[in-house]
Amino acid sequence: MLFQARQSKFVFPGPALVMGIVNVTPDSFSDGGKCLDVEAAVAHALKLAEQGAEILDIGGESTRPGATPVSETEELRRVIPVIERLSAEIHSPTDEVARRPVLISIDTMKPGVARAALQAGAAIVNDVAADREDDAMWKAAAAFNAGYICMHAKAKPVYDDVLCEVMDFFRDRLERLNAAGVSPDQVVFDVGIGFGKTLEQTLLLLARLREFKVLGRPLLLGVSRKSFIEKLTGAPVNQRLPASLACATLGIEAGAQIIRAHDVAETVQAVRMAEAIVGKT
């Protein structure tokens, strides 16, 4: 299985990628306000890269429930200088499959922000609003041959069968993306943990994540510090690392190829251990 993000190519099965989270926001649920200025955001991103993050996911608008939306102008003001600086400082993309450059991802719901970020050096669009009818976001990804993370989200967690509905959503989006010029090789699927799912639905998706491998595309798992952990264990946001790592390692066993995380050093260690054990089965 090939995943292509601009000039960079990754072949799976192979070592999973760890995506480090860089929130350039005042109100993200876990780390809002810590990386508001460019210097702090760049320093944090470079630290995550040193810890082993192969993707740096830059976001300028919180997607937590109840967060205040920001204008496109404000989101651009937050993220573009960070992406420009990082693009100049991290490894350049390469065509060599064997090497793993550090790639920049833009976490946005706005096509205008995605396009500007790609122009500034991003290689991946992380679209948490993939349940869209307009194809402007997809055409931006197509124009730059960018990687595209298609996340499932639903406003209200009402499903007849959550597994079937998420699967059908991905199949439909793959067709629409292809029609907009996005090759299947550019697409990654994310089941959207924490986005319009109850605790029971979340646990079911995690338990049966391997079933999505039938789609033939890489799977991204984003569970880091999310609120479903507190619903199950009572742990506040700054005490959710053990549960986050448990989900990440189980995700690796189920076939996830990208793990999105706040705590990169710990996640890289857990992922590599899980891969070593799974490789012996």
- Contact assessment for residue 30 and residue 225, using Cβ atoms and an 8 Å cutoff: yes
For the chain, the distance separating the N- and C-terminal CA atoms, rounded to the nearest angstrom, is: 21
The single residue of 85, 173, 225, 260 carrying the catalytic annotation is 260
Active site residue 260: yes
Instruction: Read off the DSSP letter of residue 190.
Output: E
Question: Are 254 and 204 within 8 A, CB to CB?
Answer: no
Cα 269 from chain centroid (whole Å):
19
Q: CB under 8 Å, gap of 24 or more: what pairs does 169-172 form?
A: 169/131, 170/212, 170/215, 170/217, 171/215
What number of CA atoms fall less than 13 Å from residue 75's CA on the CB side?
23
Q: Which of 226, 240, 272, 280 is catalytic?
A: 226
- Amino acid at position 95, single letter: D
- Please name every residue paired with 57 in a beta bridge, in sequence order, or none if there are none: 21, 105
Which residues participate in catalysis according to the annotation? 226, 260
